[in-house]
Structure 1
């Protein structure tokens, strides 16, 4: 099963590489914005996107993001995904 999870773009981290920082329920992770770069990247700050394996796959509206996050929480999948992201971030931080 493929799981896409909503996140909000909070910063552009590397414009030439089309990378940005997304926040998902308080967890921040760098994602590729290449699939949604149909406008200046700075215009994506504050937008909600559907994230899958490190790529922002589509821009979605805030209501859809909230409904999706709530449904995922109800299924328990969001918590598991967030824990995996946090573990990955901890591993990266420890590896530097």
Structure 2
């Protein structure tokens, strides 16, 4: 099963590589915005995107993002994914 999770782009981290920081329910993770980039990458800051395996796959509106996150929380899948993401970030911080 493919699981896409809504996240909000909070900053562009590497314009040349088309990478940005996304906030997914309080967990920040760098994602590729190459699939949704149209023009100036800074225009993506504040936008909601659907994220799958480190790629922003599509731009969604805030209402759709909230509804999707609520549905995922109800299913319990979002919590497991967020915990896995948090562990991944913690593991990376220990290697720097």
| TM-score range normalised by the length of the shorter chain | over 0.9
- Find the counterpart in structure 1 of residue 20 from structure 2: 20
Q: How does 1:1-96 map to 2 (within 5 A)?
A: 1-96=1-96
Runs of 4 or more off by more than 4 Å in structure 1? none
Larger fraction in helix: 1
TM-score, length-scaled by structure 1: 0.98
TM-score, length-scaled by structure 2: 0.98
Q: In structure 2, how many angstroms separate the alpha carbons of the residues matched to 1:39 and 1:27?
A: 27
| Structure 1 alignment gaps of length 5 or more | none
Q: In structure 1, how many angstroms separate the alpha carbons of the residues matched to 2:78 and 2:27?
A: 12
RMSD, aligned CA: 0.5
How many residues are aligned here? 96
Q: Shift of residue 95 of structure 1?
A: 1.4
